[in-house]
Every structure is written in structure tokens, then in C-alpha cells.
Amino acid sequence: MSTTSVDHQSPIETDEEFRERLRELPPSAKLVAKVLEGDEPLSQGELAEESLLPDRTVRYALNRLGDADLVGSRYSFRDARKQVYFLDD
């Protein structure tokens, strides 16, 4: 959703900035972000299954995370009809 530029910030500053942007979001977005901390990108359905949230709530959370430039997406390599989501560094 956004491209990151190369800068010379320390990882701690980047993590603090991430946490600050996340702090302003609703609890559902925080939970989805927590589930996305794993290494593998997940589809909306997988996120709903892992978070125990309804599909509609996951979609709302992903939109909010996307608006805050905290999540990225791409087409799934396993099923090109689906998008998978990951935390945007």
C-alpha cells in the first residue's frame, strides 16, 4: 500500500513509530496486526479464522491498517483470486 524509503533510523525508532500509529486504531485492527506478526501473509478468511473475528470486522480492520500504511497486500501465490496481507515494514 505504501513504499518505504531507505533511511538511517534505528529499528527501535521504526518499531516505536509503528506502535504509535497502531495505538490510534480500533481494537479489531490491533488484533489483526497481532495475528499478522507471523512470517506468512494471510488471506482475509485466514485472518478471520485466526482472530476469531467476523469477516466484515476483519475487512474493516484491514482498511484501517491500510489507511495507516501498516499493512500491505499482494495476490496469493497459491490462489491468484485471493489477496494476502502482511505487516508493511
The pLDDT score that the predictor gives to residue 4 is: 42
**Dihedral sign from CA coordinates of 45, 63, 72, 51:** negative
Domain range list for the chain = 11-87
**CATH number of the domain located at residue range(s) 11-87 in this protein:** 1.10.10.10
Q: How far apart are CA 89 and CA 77, in angstroms?
A: 20
The pLDDT score that the predictor gives to residue 16 is: 87
Identity of residue 27: P
pLDDT tens-digit series, residues 18-49: 888 899 999 999 999 999 998 899 999 999 99
DSSP classification of residue 43: E
Examine the pLDDT at 2 and tell me if it is beyond 90.
no
pLDDT tens-digit series, residues 46-81: 999 999 999 999 999 999 999 999 999 999 999 999
CB atoms within 10 A of CB 12: 8
Q: How confident is the model at residue 86 (pLDDT cuts 50, 70, 90)?
A: very high
